[in-house]
Amino acid sequence: MHPLLLYKTPNPPILHDLRENPLAPDTVEFPLLQRRHNDLDFAQLATHPPTHTLRLYHPRLPWYIDINQSHPNGVTVFDILTQMYEQLMQQITGRHYWNEDLEDVDRARLGTAFQERCNGDRGLIAAGVRRVDFLERRLLFEGLVRGRNGMWEIKASKID
């Protein structure tokens, strides 16, 4: 994994609120760079050797996030950040909410996360619960770590 995304403690290589579009100004910080990032940083290949697809997961998400290359060279930092955002912003369906793995307490926490994200904004409320709400307050993306079966685990800490 590229150093801009490879999770390490105590100094994560990236800080990004997963509710925010990574293409918006000042939503992504790479402390490792000790400068503001630029388009060339986003264009870096995410892995060595390059790969055309990556599968990400987080223990709180009931599905995987599949990242596909947008250029023939392989998956880039840009691909990971933008596709992760796009997939986390997808509205959930009834089958995601009313599945046998979620209990009433889980649904209550999901509802709380939804309300906190929307913060009374009628437009956001009308758009419904998003996949990102499953993360509750673990919304500060800090990188990826090699996980099971060739997948990469999303590391995210709590935002207060």
Taking only the tens place, the pLDDT of each residue in 41-92 is: 999 999 999 999 999 999 999 899 999 999 999 999 999 999 999 999 999 8
Q: What is the pTM of this model?
A: 0.92
Here the tokens at position 78 are 């840009």
* pLDDT at residue 96 in the model: 75
Contact 31, 41 (CB under 8 A): no
* pLDDT at residue 87 in the model: 98
Interacting residues of 88 by C-beta distance below 8 A, sequence separation 6+: 18, 65, 130, 131, 132, 135
CA neighbours within 13 Å on the CB side: how many for 13?
15
Q: Read off the pLDDT of residues 134-146 as tens digits, 9 standing for 90 and up.
A: 999 999 999 999 9
Find, among 99, 85, 66, the residue nearest to 22 by Cα.
Answer: 85
For residues 130 and 123, give the distance between their C-alpha atoms in angstroms, rounded to a whole number: 13
Average pLDDT of the chain is 93
